[in-house]
Chains A and B, each alone.
Chain A
């Protein structure tokens, strides 16, 4: 058994791979933060049907959801600097690669997030917006205070799933030369010829991270639900008064 599979080596290299986990987590955080910002903008453009922007947003969402992340990664990581240089921006090559990767990642997450938010906004009954507007709220106020809080509750679960998918997709960025756990496993494996043990290590790390996000997300959703109960209670108190 020891010849084929070395548990000692597996345990020994786990901390080494774990020391690269911050790249994975940092990229996930950057992609989710940037992606959410983009998706709010895109979802608003589509659901308010702003002339040119809505068309752009629809095509953008379709492209991001319809092509593999790896292809997007290659297209933008290799193609974007090339495009910028052809446009005469010579500084494009001095930007570190991880910036491009974070950018593509955020764009990718933005496409998926926009679709989730768009359907969530659609799921809020239209009477809510109309009622808010007829009460004299401005459109911005109506969205911010009436529509969005309800949409966020609807979108919470798919958004947690989106974050988990994003985390799993970070296992692809080693393909463009980012040194993360996967790349480190590859490099260590080239020396020791014990790739299986190393990839089992990365699998363990990813499974633990996914479980943490899954239960963390559940707690957040519960918290949002609780808060809404309290809000409902407050409304009742106001009605009593």
Chain B
């Protein structure tokens, strides 16, 4: 017997590739939802009422300090209990507590975790846009919301792209913890396969290689996108 059986690693990779869509769906959906939190949170943190600003600051602190694993458990154990409490106290059934799929819980936990980071990302992105842009927009008769949407946001978003790319790569790696609440993604599938074959070395190696390939491919893609958008940004600046 070879020390590491390459053919088994390759076969395992073929099997694990079936679970790539789960990992990707989890990462993409969490990133999109977290972006909503990030954009709304960073604007409200500047312009919202005092209590909301304090609340957002607390969320950012906790979201970044609590490990993702604990966040996952808090959602996994907390949300059904919360739904149950609402149901029994007020007679409201939003969605049955036993009906929430694990995938949704995993998505929610990853969103809560990433959202806290993205509030910081968009905060710095908005700061990178000159204050005069907002003032000029309002002075020409646009509302604050219009100025945000049409003038400030497009510029801030370009600045945020590389940081978002980093978060996305982190999220792909972060999805590997969700097997603990029985969502079967790449690592979860590898664990199941291990229980059958007892070949831990080759199976986990296959999983690691898939994640590694993902990271390298996306890193190149993002580097390319950054160059592409970067020239676009420079081109715009010259026009002005």
Interface residues of B in 189-232 (CB under 8 A from A): 190-191, 194, 199-201, 204-205, 207-208, 211-212, 214-216, 219
Contact of B70 among A87, A202, A211 (CB under 8 A): A202
A187 CA to B9 CA, complexed, in Å: 35
Tell whether A82 pairs with B174 under 8 Å between CB atoms, given A66-B216, A199-B74: no
Query: In the complex, which residues 64-110 of chain A have their Cβ closer than 8 Å to any Cβ of chain B?
Result: 65-72, 74-75, 78-80, 82-83, 86-87
Q: Quick check: B81 and A196 within 8 Å, CB to CB?
A: yes
In chain B between 107 and 123, which residues have their CB closer than 8 angstroms to a CB of chain A? Answer: none
Instruction: Report the Cα distance A175→B173, complex, angstroms.
Output: 16
Assess the A68–B3 pair: CB atoms within 8 A: no
**Across-interface contacts of A74 in B (CB, < 8 A):** 187, 190-191, 200, 204, 207
Bound state CA distance, A69 and B173, in angstroms? Answer: 8
Q: A74-B200, A83-B4, A196-B77 are in contact. Are A68 and B70 (CB under 8 A)?
A: no
A152-180 CB contacts (< 8 Å) to partner B: 168-169, 171-172, 175
Selected from A71, A199, A211, the residue in CB contact (under 8 A) with B65 is: A211
Complex-state Cα separation, A239 to B205, whole angstroms: 59
Cβ of A210 < 8 Å from any Cβ of B?
yes
Q: Which residues of B from 68 to 95 have beta carbons under 8 Å from A?
A: 68-71, 73-74, 77-78, 81-82, 84-85
Q: Does A9 contact B (CB under 8 A)?
A: no
* Contact sample, A vs B, 29 pairs, CB 8 Å cutoff: A1-B85, A4-B82, A5-B81, A63-B212, A66-B211, A66-B212, A66-B214, A67-B208, A67-B212, A70-B176, A71-B208, A71-B211, A74-B187, A74-B200, A75-B207, A82-B199, A82-B201, A83-B3, A87-B3, A171-B70, A172-B177, A175-B180, A182-B69, A196-B77, A196-B78, A200-B74, A203-B71, A206-B67, A211-B65
